[in-house]
């Protein structure tokens, strides 16, 4: 009986992970700087490096019950070349996060 419960629990976890992974929605126009300025907190981060000097930083951000992950790319000269954020799709994300945030010129 314990083995059947363990298998059922594992199947539920794997099915949940698959459905959550498929729900990440792009937040075009929203950057990590926008999230930081709006008071979001970093939950974790990781850096990736390529032999040619390019780098990427993966960050997970949280605000209340909302989760966002961002990938920020840099060239070999450490100039930022991209920043793409996606929300987890769990719950309704406030509209101020989904729309590009106003930037001062």
- Per-residue pLDDT for 13 more than 70? no
- Per-residue pLDDT for 91 more than 70? no
pLDDT digits (tens, 9 = 90+) for 38-55: 888 999 999 999 999 999
For residue 66, what pLDDT is reported? 84
| Residue 98: C-alpha distances to residues 22, 58, 66 (Å) | 18, 19, 12
Token pair 């390019």 is found at: 54
In the numeric block, which tokens belong to residue 70?
Answer: 């961002």
Q: Is 26 exposed, middle or buried (0-12, 13-18, 19+ CB in 10 A)?
A: exposed
- Average pLDDT over the chain, rounded to whole? 76
For residue 59, what pLDDT is reported? 96
């Amino acid at each position: 009986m314990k083995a059947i419960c363990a298998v059922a629990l594992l199947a539920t976890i794997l099915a949940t992970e698959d459905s959550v992974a498929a729900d990440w929605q792009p937040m075009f126009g929203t950057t990590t700087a926008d999230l930081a300025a709006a008071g979001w907190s970093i939950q974790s981060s990781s850096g990736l490096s390529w032999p040619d000097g390019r780098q990427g930083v993966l960050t997970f951000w949280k605000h209340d019950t909302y989760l966002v992950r961002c990938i920020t790319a840099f060239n070999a000269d450490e100039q930022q070349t991209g920043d793409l954020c996606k929300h987890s799709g769990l719950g309704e994300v406030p509209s101020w996060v989904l729309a590009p945030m106003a930037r001062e010129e």
